[in-house]
Amino acid sequence: MWAENLEETVTKSVVSKIKNSDRRQWLRYGTMSLGILALAPPVGFFVQQFGTTSLCGTFCMRHLVSSSFFTTLAAPTPAMTLFLLWLGITLLFGRWACSHLCPIGGLTEFGSKLVPGRFRIDFARRLDAPLFRFGFLAAYVALPIMGAAAISCSFCNFSSISEGFGSIFVERTRAGLLTGTRLLSLLFFGGFLGVMALDGRGHCHLVCPVGAIDSIVNWAGSRLPFAFRERVRATRCTGCGNCAPSCPAAAITVDQETHKSSIDLVRCYQCRRCEGKCARGAIGITRPVPALKTLRAPQTGEGEPSC
């Protein structure tokens, strides 16, 4: 009898959580799962179209920042195709690829949910994330040009995490992973900066080269009058600050003088968690305010576009 009661209690709890959950996050988890199936081994149905099940090899992002950059740029390689598509989405619509499709961030974010919250580390708030991110990007670009491409490959979150996940299913990958720096790289990126991070994306905030380039494009594109981004509607914001703690990238701050929240688009990876925390609907995906139609009754927020 007690087992039946326990099962009924658990079932009700799960159903209640699903009903009360933020639909934006469930949609995001669905697209993250699709990204893993499309790009990560052993399935990788998208990368299989280019003769591989690995995100690396002929599909490696590192080819874009090596000494053969201009050769790669002139050739329609799989890496360049994906990279330009990735950045094109970011330029116009924000960081949907990083937050919703990236298989690397998706794998560690899902994995982090198995780790109790008290053991997770908030890297985004403890460290200067932009400093680490762009410093790592500079080294990542410089080393291949200097002839040390293997070092960049060994300490790359894209290769270590995807190969680490693939090694569960592919013996050949497993054998190569358990040697030298590859195992250390996996433990560092996938473990310490991955599942042990507050949101499972410590490597995204600090040392992901693709994420660093993507954040630059996100910031630059936000100046375009037709580009959509995660923004705070000043006419609705009361500066309560409820949104800031929910941001895993520590991208939201509240101005003590104006009592308005703002989003740092260099840090923000558009996970949209903040939207569900704002009771006044002040945060959403919109174009820049000057490009919007004239707002009516700004004191009530009427006339503003929906997310």
Q: How far apart are CA 29 and CA 25, in angstroms?
A: 6
Write down the domain spans for the chain.
22-220, 229-291
Return the CATH class of domain 229-291: alpha beta
- Report pTM: 0.82
Can you tell me the distance from the alpha carbon of 241 to that of 39, in angstroms, rounded to the nearest whole number? 37
Mean pLDDT of the chain, nearest integer:
81
Per the CB < 8 A criterion, the answer to whether 182 and 176 are in contact is yes
Residue 12: helix, strand or coil by DSSP? helix
- Taking the C-alpha atoms of residue 219 and residue 46, their distance in angstroms, rounded to an integer, is 28
pLDDT by residue (tens digit) across 117-149? 899 999 999 999 999 999 988 888 787 777 776
Q: Is the pLDDT of residue 190 over 80?
A: yes
Residue pair 304/233 in contact (Cβ under 8 Å)? The answer is yes
**pLDDT-derived band at 212, boundaries 50, 70, 90:** very high
CB 129 within 8 A of CB 206: yes
Task: Give tens-digit pLDDT for 50-109.
Answer: 777 777 766 676 655 555 555 655 666 677 778 888 999 999 999 999 999 999 999 999
Q: pLDDT-based confidence at 248, cuts 50/70/90?
A: very high
Q: What is the pLDDT of residue 288?
A: 84
Residue in the structure block whose two tokens are 């959403």 = 284
The residue type found at 30 is G
